[in-house]
């Protein structure tokens, strides 16, 4: 029972792009009663969360794209595993706005736990999706690309589990590792291809 993956990708692209774009709705104009630039500067937690979450969703989209370029056909299990992953993607704007709010309250650590925890769950869901593909023969196993993708997903679990654990010890460091890994994933493949 083989079907083309085109529409699954179209639906996923829709979800990824909307989740990434909705992040901007959390940036509200500052109150008109305080000086303009001060109001803008006061919103740095919103900007920082927006930037980090946009990049993370974008990088997840790139990873999703890479995986699907190796998937030769689809079945219902793939659609179910993909749906669970998309549920995680749609969820991201919520911990993001909690982070933005928490940076100006006393509850920085709690929000970061929820934030880093959400990315840990997403890393797990990526592995569920990949395992679904390999166990049901939906990817071309001979392809090195597919093997590299699988290894990266496993690395993702390790890194996000580390971020999650770091949150109890040092919140800014945990977020820096999260952001740093995002940049590494974004830029590393570019260099290696040269």
Residues of the shown chain interacting with a copy of itself in the complex, contacts defined by CB under 8 A: 1, 3, 7-11, 13-25, 27-29, 32, 36-37, 40, 50-51, 54-55, 58-59, 61-62, 65, 68-69, 75-77, 79-80, 83, 86-87, 90-91, 93-94, 97-98, 101-102, 105, 107, 110-111, 114, 145, 186-187, 189-190, 193
Comparison of 66 and 161: residue with beta carbon closer to a copy of itself: 66
Instruction: Please state the φ and ψ torsions of residue 105, each to the nearest 5 degrees.
Output: -110, -170
Write down the least CB distance from residue 169 to a copy of itself, Å. Answer: 18
- 139 Cα distance to chain centroid: 22
Question: Cβ of residue 160: shortest distance to a copy of itself, in angstroms?
Answer: 20
CB atoms within 10 A of CB 163: 25
Residues near 91 by beta carbon (within 8 Å), at least 6 away in sequence: 118
Closest contact distance (angstroms) between CB of 140 and a copy of itself is 14
Min dist CB 170 to a copy of itself, Å, is 18
Residue closer to a copy of itself, measured from CB, 7 or 141: 7
Identify the CA nearest to 138 among candidates 14, 66, 146. 146
**CB-nearer residue toward a copy of itself: 90 or 157:** 90
Q: CA-CA distance, 144 to 149, in Å (whole number)?
A: 9
Shorter beta-carbon distance to a copy of itself: residue 105 or 170: 105
Compute CA distances 13 → 61, 84, 117, 133, 174, whole Å. 8, 15, 24, 19, 29
- Distance separating alpha carbons of residues 15 and 82, to the nearest angstrom: 11
Instruction: Report in angstroms how near the CB of residue 153 gets to a copy of itself at its nearest.
Output: 16
């Amino acid at each position: 029972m083989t079907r083309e993956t085109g529409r699954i990708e179209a639906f996923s692209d829709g979800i990824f792009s909307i989740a990434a774009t909705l992040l901007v709705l959390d940036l509200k104009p500052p109150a008109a009663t305080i000086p303009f630039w001060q109001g803008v500067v006061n919103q740095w937690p919103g900007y920082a969360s927006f930037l980090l979450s946009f990049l993370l969703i974008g990088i997840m989209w790139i990873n999703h794209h890479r995986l699907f370029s190796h998937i030769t056909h689809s079945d219902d299990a793939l659609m179910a595993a993909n749906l669970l992953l998309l549920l995680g993607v749609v969820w991201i704007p919520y911990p993001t706005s909690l982070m933005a709010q928490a940076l100006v309250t006393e509850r920085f650590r709690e929000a970061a736990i929820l934030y880093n925890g959400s990315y840990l769950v997403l890393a797990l869901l990526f592995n569920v999706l990949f395992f679904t593909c390999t166990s049901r023969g939906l990817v071309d196993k001979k392809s090195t690309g597919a093997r590299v993708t699988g290894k990266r997903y496993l690395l993702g679990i390790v890194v996000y589990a580390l971020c999650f654990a770091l949150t109890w010890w040092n919140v800014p460091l945990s977020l820096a590792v999260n952001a740093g890994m995002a940049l590494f994933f974004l830029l590393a493949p570019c260099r290696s291809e040269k």
